[in-house]
Structure 1
């Protein structure tokens, strides 16, 4: 019997966009990363080309889940473009993003495949992005590889990844929402169906199948390093301190 494990990712950036049903000039985003988007990120890191469905299949077969650590804010943008040859204006499109969101995504599967993906994330062939190429992550996405455990255990135990400024301004929630794929053993669990199972990323015939998504909640774990987590430099920390002093003197 082959060994299995879990690979965890921290998905955080100024903007993210995880489309599952976008059509024509309206490009929406889900409230959390999609499996197709995260599998695409991993495929890019390992160097799989868009038309290589054979190499994509093992990644698509991984079991997927995501935890919403910082929901972010949904924003809308209007996008204009011109035809590269004729210069004619293209139709105005409406695009939606999640601003200031943070998620923990995880994939569960074969130990050897996850080891290769873990190595690729630290030296990617193609740079990762959060749903769209205009949405780069604010820091490396690798959160580590876990042995002899399950997707559920990792999404329950990984420290809370919300940004330092978010934790300063908001009360710690009692629980965090987890969206995960249903297992055969949990066939009786209530689930939603989403057309988000990647089959092909080929631009000429991009295809997605249906997958089941179970929504649960887990107790909010302590942030890394306890209550004094030291994350990336926060340029707004001084402004927050100044606001606090002004509020005290008011």
Structure 2
């Protein structure tokens, strides 16, 4: 049996970012390993400069994701005119604590355009456990941090604020698939089953597909591949 921690992603908008190509920020079907790591690190109060702590946490996480409510995809068309005088000040801070020195643009070339995809009205449940469970942070540490996070938490991008607390409970189960079948950990508002789930798989599994969702936290880039498969679960019923 394994100890399992549940997170609930329920929000008006959320974003499971995939590779950004030019100005287009697409999303993928499930929250990436790096996203889960960053969210937990944020809850714990880990700084971006503490890349070894984030890398170690990422390597210890084992998680599976269930989609409870599919929601709808929407695209946000964003423009910022950098030629405006007020965009040439020094008031913007990056996530690693550095002051971002903006340079104003000309009226003809100063407008920055980008497209960002989101999920609206979706709901996901994450079942998570840790390798080397006695090491810090433990599942107890993660649960405490999610209940009282060191910093505000968001689901993907900063505008994506959760509609309810992210901590959704604890259980013990034979594996993550069994945990995601437990009727106690389904939201009240959900689609009809079966429910899509995503989990790490062996490379030779015919359902497995490669995803680049591990992060090199020292160099702040995504690298390497994980093999992830999509499956389905139903709500378990007692015999």
Cα distance, 1:150 vs structure 2:
2.3
Cα distance, 1:116 vs structure 2:
0.9
Matched residue, 1:234: none
Mapped partners of 1:176, 1:148: distance in 2:
18
User: What SS does the aligned partner of 1:139 have?
Assistant: coil
Cα distance, 1:87 vs structure 2:
4.0
Q: 1:175 to 1:26 in 2, by over 3 A?
A: same
Partner of residue 107 from structure 1, selected from 128, 131, 140: 128
Matched residue, 1:190: 207
- Greater helix share, 1 or 2? 1
Matched residue, 2:193: 174
Contact 2:65 2:197 (C-alpha < 8 Å) held by counterparts: yes
Q: 1:221 to 1:100 in 2, by over 3 A?
A: farther
User: What SS does the aligned partner of 1:212 have?
Assistant: strand
Mapped partners of 1:149, 1:48: distance in 2:
31
Matched residue, 2:66: 67
User: What SS does the aligned partner of 2:6 have?
Assistant: strand
User: What SS does the aligned partner of 1:66 have?
Assistant: strand
Q: 1:106 to 1:52 in 2, by over 3 A?
A: same
User: What SS does the aligned partner of 2:196 have?
Assistant: strand
Mapped partners of 1:194, 1:130: distance in 2:
19
1:77-92 residue pairs with structure 2 within 5 A? 77-83=76-82, 84-85=87-88, 86-88=103-105, 89-92=110-113
Structure 1-normalised TM-score? 0.76
Q: Is 2:23 the partner of 1:14?
A: no
Q: 1:160 to 1:221 in 2, by over 3 A?
A: farther
Cα distance, 1:51 vs structure 2:
2.7
Contact 1:177 1:216 (C-alpha < 8 Å) held by counterparts: yes
Say how many residue pairs are matched: 209
Q: Is 2:162 the partner of 1:145?
A: no
Contact 1:31 1:98 (C-alpha < 8 Å) held by counterparts: no
Matched residue, 1:208: 223
User: What SS does the aligned partner of 1:92 have?
Assistant: strand
Matched residue, 2:232: 217
User: RMSD of the alignment, in Å?
Assistant: 2.3
Q: 1:107 to 1:187 in 2, by over 3 A?
A: farther
Matched residue, 2:180: 155
Cα distance, 1:180 vs structure 2:
0.6
Over residues 130-172 of structure 1, what are the superposed CA-to-partner deviations in whole Å (9 max), with x where a residue is unaligned? 1001101011010122246421221121532253xxx5xxxx5
User: What SS does the aligned partner of 2:122 have?
Assistant: strand
Cα distance, 1:120 vs structure 2:
0.5
Mapped partners of 1:90, 1:42: distance in 2:
35
**Please, which runs of 5 or more residues in structure 1 have no aligned partner?**
223-250
Structure 2-normalised TM-score? 0.79
Name segments (4+ residues, structure 1) moved above 6 Å: none
**Please, which runs of 5 or more residues in structure 2 have no aligned partner?**
89-102
